[in-house]
Amino acid sequence: MQLDESLRKRLAAEFDFAAQQMAKSPDLVTKLYFYSAFFGEVERVLNQQWDANLSLLHLVLFYSHTTMMARTNMLITGADRVIGIPNEFPDALTKTAAELASLFQSEDVDEGKLLMILSRLAELAYVTQGNGHYLYLKGKIKL
């Protein structure tokens, strides 16, 4: 990923703050609030410098947040009582957010590691959905 150094540092600082706040958050709704800072900051950086991989990061962060928040809201309102969110989920999300924050601390963002994190975020979003939850229950998706 070829980002201007100042923009990479900006992302690193915001990601680090959001990840730290997620780690301190007592519940999933609050964790998701701070998780939203990730895609918000990426979008602001995209306005300064275009990068296709950064665009992919934004897409995965936005999609995963939207998906996770929708399921959380369904559970809170009682609209769905069948598909829950695994107990390990909040910690797995927090860990992955911290890994993303750490990745942007290095001067050169390793695209292979970025792809692994993107895949994990997609997997975490998927586990909050019907089929993903089913696969989690079968032991196919590990948190």
d(CA 27, CA 108): 33
Long-range contacts of 126-132 (CB under 8 A, 24+ apart): 126/67, 127/85, 127/86, 127/89, 128/67, 128/68, 128/71, 128/72, 128/83, 128/85, 128/89, 129/67, 129/71, 129/83, 130/83
Can you give the pLDDT of all 143 residues of the chain as single tens digits?
889 999 999 999 999 999 999 999 999 999 999 999 999 999 999 999 999 999 999 999 999 999 999 999 999 999 988 888 999 999 999 999 999 999 999 999 999 999 999 999 999 999 999 999 999 999 999 99
Q: Give the helix ranges, DSSP H, for 47-110.
A: 52-77, 89-103
The answer to whether 54 and 23 are in contact (CB under 8 A) is: no
For the chain, how are helix, strand and coil distributed in percent, rounded to 5? Answer: 75, 0, 25
